[in-house]
Structure 1
Amino acid sequence: MGDERVAEARKLINEAGIATFRSPEAAVDAFSNIALFYQNQQLLQQTPPPLSQLAKPDQAGAHILIESVLAERRKVLTEMESKALLAAFHIPITPTILAGNANEAILIASQLGYPVALKIDSPDISHKSDVHGVALDVLDAASVRDTYNDMIATVRRLRPEARINGVTIQKMSGKKRGRELYIGMVTDQPFGPVITFGAGGTMIELIDDRAVELPPLNQFLSQRLIQRVRAADTLGEWRGAPPVRLESIEHILLRVSEMVCALPQLREMDINPLIVDESGALVVDARIVVDQAAPSLHDYDHLAILPYPSNYTQDWPRRGGGQYTLRPVRPDDANMLQDFVRKLSDQSRYYRFVSSLRELSVPMLARYTLIDYDREMALVAVCKERLPTGGDEITETERMIGVSRYIANPDLSSCEFSLVVDDEFIGQGLGSRLMLSIMDVARHKGLKEIDGLVLTKNSNMLKLMKSLGFQIQTYVDDPDFKLCSKAL
């Protein structure tokens, strides 16, 4: 009965283009779906590279450290080794020094300055607190001596089979109002490495506050990972403490992502606690497990999501001055690709798409920019343009001037190519460079042959294919096309 009374009003509202709902629950569901759609669209735009724009890590040193551990038939790194691996990727750590006896512990503590923390160092003990292997806020030399001796005796009693290297000494972090967080990495059987983030400290299992993300990460994904845990509520002003420096957490998440991408030997990682305050973040303790990397044909085969292949980016000089950049396509290139297609001549558009279309549909834009870098590749040539924006102001923008592409065939040994160049840049060697580069990528991916169909009346393209060593044959299924093929 109530629905009949508002039917006319609902009709008027709907005709005005405003959605109506028969219950609050339906309205909430609709709003939730819109929010989820927006979030998914944002995630589709994320194609992080394996390495961030931060300072270059010492990958060679990291590999040497891991290989030395595996050569000793060990998989669990000591705290000092774990921190050394983190330091190779410029992750801030507390300086840690190993003491082999009580006298060494006193000397080290005096050099570092009191108060200090003492921790048992053993490749066989992962959770030091379980065997009373951690002592904090040790204030003087006598306490260091007594704590050292008591800790060694206690651990030997509780874990007589454990190998004990000694006790590590480190200065207390000094972050009195810091929040304790956790950053980790686990290896999932179907998905490979997974990065975890959440609340840290000794009660981490009890609190059970974690979020996960597949690497590689970028700033957007790092921020999203932080926002998804309950501990995020404590990172602002909290019980008299000022807000923490969120950028420092994002920095470490990006660095951990780099480690996961660059080091396929990683199996587990526990950074706990990561203490963060208004001045930054500091790794106080860490545990890393490694193993031999599985055989692979290509880089990053251990990842579920391939990172943006920035290694294929190249700069080339333009005839007549200037330069252009050749790089893999990105999801955010959609608008630039649309402008590129719109500016093509009718003939160039027809030669490329065998259609009279004047612009790409939304599904086509998504198809051409949201690609699976594992089985296809699109290289775009972009150059800088300086355009007046009114008055004396000049704005520098990017302009797409060419695209080459291949898609692997189901046999995974051959691929089909396409090529289109801005009419203004035809005859300047851009088409040759795009084709040579896309063939290099296909060859690097292990493909053995590249072929494509070219309209018979597209004489310039056929001439280019011949100059690049392609075999040109009549396409038996359609005489309007030529089949161009080349062994890679």
Structure 2
Amino acid sequence: NFSPQQAQAIIQELLNHNITQLETHEVQPILKGYGFKTLPTWLANDAVEAIHIAEQIGYPVAVKLRSPDIEHKSEVHGVMLHLRDAQEVESAAQAMLERVNIDYPTAQIDGLLVQRMANRAGAQELRVAVRNDPIFGPVIFLGEELMNWNCYQDSAVGLPPLNMALARYMIIDALKSQKIKQRSTLVPIDIDALCSLLVTVSQLVIDCPNIEILDIHPLLANGPELTIIDASMTLNADTNQIPRLAIRPYPKELEQWVELKSGKTILLRPILPEDEPEHKSFISHVTQEDLYKRFFSDVGEFNHEAMSNFTQIDYDREMAFIAVFENKGHTEILGVVRALSDPDNMDAEFAILIRSDLKGLGLGRIMMEKIIHYCQHKGLQRITGMTMPNNRSMIMLAQKMGFHVDIQMEDGVVEMELNLIK
């Protein structure tokens, strides 16, 4: 349910007006396109307007200083909470502005932000941030809301793209290392909800490369309810100055719908870490004979580590397309084809496996065409593979598709090679 076009349009409009430092009320429309729950925020020019807003939204309220020149508002008590009436709002606003005039006489003051107080009873205050590392590109940090917060020392670290499994590892790391402390007086953190938020943050920075810095603090975690109280963002119009992702995100553009000879419509798409259970079920539908032809040995049940190697891949060096059939909310994997390229990006070795009960539907050829087209588009010069002499269907398919086939009976292998340079 993401709306990247909405977020990108807002960011571009801000950049068109040379606005690169965003405060909470400016960040909220961007976050809204990704389904984040935020606390409505109003802008007031002075104490009188702040009182008027507070009367409209209801007490108690929080009043916060707006100034691009004061990074830590706490230095001037620039955040006043639990203001219960007009007199308290007026006193807090005036005192805040007076302190700024004394301590930062040259600071630019852009007014005040007014929010209705969030229910903090039992909630844990967390911090989620994104910084750009010169080597790794965007890095996601998760920790607690602290006064003198150091992102590398006080948080767990993750690299986008995050999925639910990687986000869970990140949260567990934060809990084990005491970067987030479980307190008996607070509502326990809902790990699934926090995982979902981290994955969404990851997708946001992938979709919007102009985001250089994102800081969400505090994030109120009250069971499954996660509310962003404040957020700031730094934009950069020149995306070439921002290091890009260390890990290539899921290439959704490679998804393709195809029809089998039976008339069944299936989806060809890159494999995902979340496909591990379905991939294990898929292998259970492959006979031992077909598994032997694929792996050149007798194989037993694949453990979690092996299945992770099959499903968690680096899309820059390896590609695995799976054929997926959706049936009443249930996902079935019908086949998989892989290609692993060498470090020079010259050659790739392929391997293919089709469910044993689905042969003769043309799926093998469809998947081979998919991986060949992918390798050609990537600029590879050659694709090779190996099979066994008794795998006649694979040998015949390779020959029909233009592969040079070398049957080596003494060694018990068949080498297949296709030149991709036209």
Q: TM-score, normalised by structure 1?
A: 0.70
**Deviations 1:285-315 (CA, angstroms, capped at 9, x unpaired):** 122223246449xxx9822233454554455
Structure 1 runs not aligned, ≥5 long: 1-55, 387-395
Matched, 1:221 2:166: no
Distance 1:380 1:106 in 2: 59
User: Are the aligned partners of 1:197 and 1:225 in contact in 2 as well (CA < 8 Å)?
Assistant: no
Determine helix, strand or coil for the equivalent of 1:276. Answer: strand
Matched, 1:418 2:351: yes
1:372 counterpart residue number: 314
Matched, 1:484 2:418: yes
User: Are the aligned partners of 2:286 and 2:354 in contact in 1 as well (CA < 8 Å)?
Assistant: no
2:337 counterpart residue number: 404
Measured after TM superposition, the shift of residue 462 of structure 1 is 5.9
Structure with the greater alpha carbon radius of gyration: 1
Residues 460 and 86 of structure 1: is their aligned pair in 2 closer, same or farther, counting only changes over 3 Å? same
1:167 counterpart residue number: 112
Matched, 1:121 2:89: no
Residues 434 and 473 of structure 1: is their aligned pair in 2 closer, same or farther, counting only changes over 3 Å? closer
Residues 148 and 365 of structure 1: is their aligned pair in 2 closer, same or farther, counting only changes over 3 Å? closer
Structure 2 runs not aligned, ≥5 long: none
2:144 counterpart residue number: 199
User: Are the aligned partners of 1:211 and 1:228 in contact in 2 as well (CA < 8 Å)?
Assistant: no
Measured after TM superposition, the shift of residue 180 of structure 1 is 2.0
Matched, 1:147 2:65: no
User: Are the aligned partners of 1:415 and 1:447 in contact in 2 as well (CA < 8 Å)?
Assistant: no
Matched, 1:359 2:299: yes
Query: What are the equivalent positions in structure 2 for 1:286-435 lying under 5 Å apart?
Result: 286-292=231-237, 294-295=239-240, 302-309=244-251, 312-320=254-262, 322-330=264-272, 332=276, 335-336=280-281, 338-339=283-284, 342-345=287-290, 349-350=292-293, 352=294, 355=296, 357-359=297-299, 368-383=310-325, 400-435=333-368
**Deviations 1:314-341 (CA, angstroms, capped at 9, x unpaired):** 5544433544443334562664465455
Matched, 1:66 2:11: yes
Residues 420 and 111 of structure 1: is their aligned pair in 2 closer, same or farther, counting only changes over 3 Å? same
Residues 78 and 440 of structure 1: is their aligned pair in 2 closer, same or farther, counting only changes over 3 Å? farther
Residues 231 and 188 of structure 1: is their aligned pair in 2 closer, same or farther, counting only changes over 3 Å? closer
**Deviations 1:346-398 (CA, angstroms, capped at 9, x unpaired):** xx954x56x4x233796987765553321111223355799xxxxxxxxx986
Let me know the Cα RMSD of the aligned residues.
3.9
- Provide the identity percentage: 28
Matched, 1:94 2:39: yes
User: Are the aligned partners of 2:61 and 2:83 in contact in 1 as well (CA < 8 Å)?
Assistant: yes
1:447 counterpart residue number: 379
Determine helix, strand or coil for the equivalent of 1:165. Answer: coil
